[in-house]
């Protein structure tokens, strides 16, 4: 307990930055991933190819490599100045959105084709058909895999510690400098992540029961 209580100034801001990083990356990846999923099921070949290329490229690129690019290579392009925190958010969004895209696309594929055909028959555009008919139904079936993706995103935020972003994963470095047991400190960090993940798991189970899909 001494390691925790004596270093609350590290654990508090560290986990707060972790939650902020997670929230921003989650929102961004959900939006971008959904757009990519719409591209992947689009009737326009070039849009489908664009979505497929993005997913293939970034789903198979190591996340650490993306962090390196946005932290060190991107500034050389001199387009927009990004802080290390902003670079971490962008890297997580770019990486996670590829997985979100596949989850949403798999959900879209579970909706009977007749639903889309009926929507087109009444004059809905492709965007209206997806937004008003298909996606609301697909949401029910993507809850478990989407929550797993978000849990993975939460744990991936620890990589930011290696790129000068002060979050939970960086606490061990400061503990070592202060002379505290790094092993005990890491156990507290692990417990902190368990506490963060458990509510997400409970939410997943609750939504599964509420939005159970008859098969």
Per-residue pLDDT reduced to its tens digit, 169-198: 566 666 666 666 667 777 777 777 788 888
| 101/138 Cα distance (integer angstroms) | 12
Average pLDDT over all residues of the chain: 80
First to last CA, the chain: 49
Question: Is the alpha carbon torsion for 52, 57, 60, 61 positive or negative?
Answer: negative
Write out residues in the chain with pLDDT < 50, as ranges.
214-215
| 209/195 Cα distance (integer angstroms) | 22
Distances 185 to 18, 151, 199 between C-alpha atoms, Å: 16, 22, 23
- Answer for the pair 98, 55: CB distance below 8 angstroms, yes or no: yes
Distances 64 to 105, 163, 214 between C-alpha atoms, Å: 26, 10, 40
| Rounded (5°) CA angle 33-39-41 | 105
| 160/103 Cα distance (integer angstroms) | 24
- Which homologous superfamily does the CATH classification assign to the domain defined by 16-167? MetI-like (1.10.3720.10)
- pTM for the complete prediction? 0.81
| 36/38 Cα distance (integer angstroms) | 5
CA atoms within 13 A on the CB side of 28: 17
Residue 112: helix, strand or coil by DSSP? coil
């Amino acid at each position: 307990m001494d390691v925790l209580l004596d270093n609350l100034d590290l654990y508090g801001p560290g986990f707060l930055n972790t939650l902020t990083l997670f929230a921003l990356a989650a929102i961004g990846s959900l939006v971008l991933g959904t757009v990519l999923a719409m591209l992947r099921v689009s009737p326009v070949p070039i849009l489908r190819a664009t979505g497929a290329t993005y997913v293939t490229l970034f789903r198979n690129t190591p996340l650490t490599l993306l962090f390196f690019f946005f932290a060190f290579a991107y500034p050389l392009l001199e387009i927009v100045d990004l802080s290390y925190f902003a670079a971490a958010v962008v890297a997580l969004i770019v990486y996670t959105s590829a997985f979100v895209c596949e989850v949403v696309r798999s959900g879209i594929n579970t909706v009977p084709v007749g639903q889309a055909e009926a929507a087109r028959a009444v004059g809905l555009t492709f965007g209206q058909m997806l937004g008003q008919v298909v996606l609301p139904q697909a949401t029910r079936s993507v809850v478990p895999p989407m929550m797993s993706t978000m849990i993975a995103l939460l744990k991936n935020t620890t990589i930011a510690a290696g790129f000068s972003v002060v979050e939970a994963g960086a606490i061990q470095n400061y503990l070592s400098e202060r002379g505290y047991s790094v092993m005990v400190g890491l156990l507290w960090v692990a417990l902190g992540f368990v506490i963060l993940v458990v509510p997400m798991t409970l939410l997943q189970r609750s939504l599964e029961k509420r939005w159970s899909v008859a098969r």
